[in-house]
Amino acid sequence: MRHLLSLLRNGKGLRHAPVVYANSPEFSLCVVLRGLPSGPVDVSSDHCPVSLRPFILGIRLATEAFDASAPAPGMWLEISLPPPEDVPLARLALTSVGMLPLKRGSLHLFRVERTVNRCLPTPNLWLRYLLAWQNARTAARRGDALCMSARDLRALNAYYIVARPVFLVGAGHGERVNLFPMDLVGALSTGEYLLALRATSPGVALMEDSKRIAMSSAPAELLHAVYALGNQHRRPTLDPNQQTVPISSSPLFDLPVLEQAGLVRELSVDRVERIGSHVLFMARIEQESGLAGRQLAHMSGMYIEWLRRSGRDCEVLAPL
């Protein structure tokens, strides 16, 4: 009874579950931008979230693929299983809100206006959405400083059908250093790299002032320790004596990384943009070594349920 009353009062968020990232069709999904006059464009390797409030996606397009002065009506992002199955899983209706130049092509910014999610039967889906709407309405009362809208939460959950690997991001400037987990990161097919960090994080100043970043893949086996480092998003510096994970220094920039990490990647920041609730760092890779191994990732709970109903599965690290 208490649980039911809590649901009625506070609702329930749309879950993104921790999983082990794998090289399989369930993770290697197709992401296609449709509705352009030139035809559909496969952007599976060219998309990244750049803000959560409002929810804005960055999608790299070749210059000739999109005319920003006359954006095509009826654009949408389609997420589906890879060929030969091509099973559609979600569709996000998009509106263009801006563009940032890249060395090759442009990063086009899109708001999500409407979401179609095919991972759950319609009655179950709308019950989840109703609880998520109530959860969004009570976010401020519960101390959620981000306060995403119900529409953006639906879009975010559908977008996370494409699993997002988690990295520990190391930054430093002067006497201060920090290390915190991030999943709003992504490589573009051009070799450029994007990271979107919440504007309230003290790490923003370190990354913006130094223009240097080190990333290490977050091992799935260190799930709880990685999440504990999430507290560093509210702390100005890292105290090595209070950490439960072994930390060392990156080879090029001497920034904090996970000791014996599977993958270490070091970046130089070329450009910084403030977009909505987040700060976007547009960077280039200076050095990369190792392999990610069993990396922690975040994936839509609805998609995991769809996988299970379809006789497929992935390694989930916490109950849905």
Are 99 and 46 in a shared domain? yes
Those residues with Cβ within 8 angstroms of residue 10's Cβ, 6 or more apart along the chain or in another chain: 134, 135, 138, 142
Q: Which two tokens stand for residue 312?
A: 């497929």
Are 17 and 61 in a shared domain? yes
What value does the mean pLDDT take over residues 248-274?
94
Are 148 and 206 in a shared domain? no
- Domain for residue 303, yes or no? no
Residue 287's H or E segment, with its range, is strand 278-290
- Percent of the chain past pLDDT 90, that is, above it, reads 79
pLDDT tens, residue by residue, 35-82: 998 899 999 999 999 999 999 999 999 976 666 555 567 899 999 999
Q: What is the mean pLDDT of the chain?
A: 92
- Alpha-carbon gap, residue 94 to 113, rounded angstroms: 6
Task: Record the pTM.
Answer: 0.94
- Domain for residue 306, yes or no? no
Of 150, 158, 194, the closest CA to residue 77 belongs to 158
Are 171 and 142 in a shared domain? no
Higher pLDDT residue, 11 or 159?
A: 159
CB-count burial class (<10 Å; 0-12, 13-18, 19+) for 259:
exposed
- Domain for residue 305, yes or no? no
Question: Tell me, what CATH number does 74's domain have?
Answer: 2.30.110
Flag the least confident range among 9-18, 153-162, 184-193, 200-209: 9-18
Question: Tell me, what CATH number does 223's domain have?
Answer: 2.30.110.10
The whole-number pLDDT of residue 203 equals 97
What value does the mean pLDDT take over residues 146-152?
94
pLDDT at residue 193 is higher than 90: yes
The whole-number pLDDT of residue 4 equals 47
- Domain for residue 304, yes or no? no
- Alpha-carbon gap, residue 290 to 133, rounded angstroms: 42
- Domain for residue 147, yes or no? yes
Are 8 and 28 in a shared domain? yes
The whole-number pLDDT of residue 84 equals 86
The whole-number pLDDT of residue 9 equals 61
- Domain for residue 204, yes or no? yes
- Domain for residue 175, yes or no? yes
For tokens 């190391």, the residue is 170
Structurally, how many domains does the chain consist of? 2
What value does the mean pLDDT take over residues 211-234?
95
- Domain for residue 288, yes or no? yes
Confidence of residue 261 (pLDDT cuts 50, 70, 90): confident
* Distance, C-alpha 43 to centroid of its chain: 15
Flag the least confident range among 24-28, 71-75, 207-211, 266-270: 71-75
pLDDT tens, residue by residue, 98-138: 999 999 999 999 999 999 999 999 999 999 999 899 989 98
Are 20 and 147 in a shared domain? yes
Are 139 and 284 in a shared domain? no
Are 75 and 215 in a shared domain? no
Q: Which two tokens stand for residue 287?
A: 């050095």
Are 21 and 157 in a shared domain? yes
Whether the CB-CB separation of 82 and 26 falls below 8 Å is answered with no
Are 184 and 106 in a shared domain? no
Are 173 and 290 in a shared domain? yes
Are 172 and 140 in a shared domain? no
Residues spanned by the domain of 215: 167-294
